[in-house]
Structure 1
Amino acid sequence: MLLMTEQQPEGRFNLKDPVHILACGFGLGLAKKAPGTWGTLAAFPFYFVLLQFPDWVYLLATAVMAVVGIWICGKTSEDMGVHDHGGIVWDEVVGMLITLFWVPVEWPWILAAFVAFRFFDILKPWPIRWLDKQVDGGFGIMIDDVIAGLFGLAVMHLALYYWY
């Protein structure tokens, strides 16, 4: 059972702790297979809400989520005794929001952004893989997905430039 008491076993989320709930993407990161892919879906409620505001609010909210994510991911990782547990997906939420910035709100483009972000997050081309291996703590958990999000953003805007 995933609901733990105050002293949780190593490697387990405490679903009574709001920080852990955020870290695991409201439970989507608890998927047995592909938790990062499932956890990325937790970005979409934030995305559709942020679309209602000016671009500067979207960017500010994403930046705040990234900075707070350093603490969320770091604390959860420390509590679990596992660095960058696969179920910690707050970093995927932020990376996906970065990739989606200024992408047309049309399902083919949104799906392409999802695929682009997951591609970079899974394959981890340089410098993503290097950062993932070299940087510890909450910052280390967040930074590789922020960079994957920026790579996804670049690919999306190149695609938009040529095909939209």
Structure 2
Amino acid sequence: MKDKWAHITATVFYVGHLKPAPGTWGSLVALPMAWAIYMIGGFWLFALAIPAAYIKGYYATVWMTAGKDNHDPSEIVIDEVVGQWIALLPVIYGIQMMGVTPQTLWPGWVAAFVLFRWFDITKPGFVGWADRKDNATGVMLDDVIAGVFAAIGVAALASIYHQVMM
């Protein structure tokens, strides 16, 4: 039972088995999940979902990789969901503060997705450092850091946009 739970969690309901580029599929499925969480409980539920998913994902990754040589199999995409959600934090916050529908800030959703994928794929600096850790912490942490970098980028782009357009 624990193995099945870990597999469903780590692959985000089997999305991690989609080819090609399971990480991109994992990031993509994170978008409607984020929208749904926000619609159910607003910014604070979304913000609380991130550490909850991290913890659940960490343990699922530990169980999925136990006794295996590959510490980061491509089908594990819960880390992409967590990182993508972090990248979306400024967008979800903006939606809440402005009192608009999630669709209104669609450029922020796109920017969060593109920036997160770029940082996750290229693995600059601390992202690469975390990725080189040969354990579940590394699997999860590189995407957390990529998500933080992407969130900073999203906030910077929003600031530039609002200064130019306002």
Quickly name the TM-score band, shorter chain normalised: 0.7 to 0.9
Amino acid corresponding to residue 72 of structure 1 in structure 2: A
Which residue among 55, 72, 95 is the counterpart of 1:84? 72
1:88-115 residue CA offsets vs partner (Å, 9 max, x unmatched): 1000000000000131533222111100
- Aligned equivalent of 2:160: 162
Which residue among 52, 74, 85 is the counterpart of 2:62? 74
Q: Percent of pairs identical after alignment?
A: 38
Q: Per-residue deviation at 1:21?
A: 1.6
1:131 and 2:130 equivalent? yes
What's the RMSD between the two structures over aligned residues?
A: 1.9
> For residues 37 and 83 of structure 1, do their structure 2 counterparts lie closer, same or farther at Cα, with a shift above 3 Å needed?
same
1:16-65 residue CA offsets vs partner (Å, 9 max, x unmatched): 81220221122221123111101112212320122122423221111111
Q: For residues 40 and 76 of structure 1, what CA distance do their matches in structure 2 show?
A: 20
Q: For residues 5 and 34 of structure 2, what CA distance do their matches in structure 1 show?
A: 21
Looking at secondary structure, tell me which structure has more helix per residue: 2
- The answer to whether the 8 A contact 2:38-2:45 is kept is no
- The answer to whether the 8 A contact 2:119-2:150 is kept is yes
Report the secondary structure of 1:69's partner residue: helix
**Number of equivalenced pairs:** 149
TM-score (norm 1): 0.82
